[in-house]
Amino acid sequence: MAQYRSLAYKTGRRWRWVADAIEECGVITGFETGAVSVQQFTDTVRSLFPHGCLSAQDVVVAWQSVLGFTVVEIVHAVRALAADGRLLLASNTNPLHWQSVTSHLLTARIEAPAVLSFEVGYAKPSPNFFSAIFDADQRVADQAIFIDDLEQNVTAARRCGIPGRMHTDPLETAKWLRKLLAAR
């Protein structure tokens, strides 16, 4: 929603109009599955507004504003998993978001392999996305727990044989991860 509000401010349109226009044109799905480049994405978004109203940089900055704050408790738990080689990131994302996420990960000193929708060509909840996770790390079959904030994605992971947990509250997820780490 932050990206739509940012573009609404720049264009003088209501944020809901901006959101509907962008979502209805289908560019987001293409962007998150790698079918649409950053250039194509920014050009498409810009074409929805009067000529000269938005620059490509306006779209990039707006799209990167989606990422929220970092929860320190989750960072600590995830860092410990990554240090043990027990973390695989799997995300519906795009090159603009991933660039920001990578920056946050580096700042937090977290290094882990990642399965990214825009690289594998599929997004959660597609079974093909979960196949890419299995391909990336064979341990997923018997050692993974999939954590996501969307029930449909957790359900899809379970259907593919990966135990899943709903993420609804950052502090609760951090607490749960600490228990998981303590049990190792």
Domain ranges of the chain: 2-63, 72-182
Of 11-15, 62-66, 104-108, 170-174, highest mean pLDDT: 11-15
Is residue 95's pLDDT more than 80? yes
Q: Which of the two residues, 123 and 84, has the higher pLDDT score?
A: 123
**CA 153 – CA 156 distance, rounded (Å):** 5
Band of the pLDDT at 181, cuts 50, 70, 90?
confident
Band of the pLDDT at 97, cuts 50, 70, 90?
very high
Share of the chain above pLDDT 90, in %: 66
Contact call for residues 131 and 138 (beta carbons, < 8 A): no
H helix runs in the chain, sequence order: 2-11, 15-24, 27-32, 38-47, 56-64, 72-83, 95-107, 117-120, 127-136, 140-143, 151-159, 170-182
Q: Which of 97, 94, 99 is nearest to 36 (CA)?
A: 94
Band of the pLDDT at 40, cuts 50, 70, 90?
very high
Band of the pLDDT at 75, cuts 50, 70, 90?
confident
Contact call for residues 170 and 71 (beta carbons, < 8 A): yes
Q: What pLDDT shows up at residue 184?
A: 66
Q: Which residues pair with 146 in a beta bridge?
A: 164
Q: What pLDDT shows up at residue 23?
A: 96
What class, spelled out in words, does domain 72-182 have in CATH? alpha beta
pLDDT in tens, 120-171: 999 999 999 999 999 998 877 778 889 999 999 999 999 999 999 999 988 8
**CA 55 – CA 46 distance, rounded (Å):** 7
pTM equals: 0.85
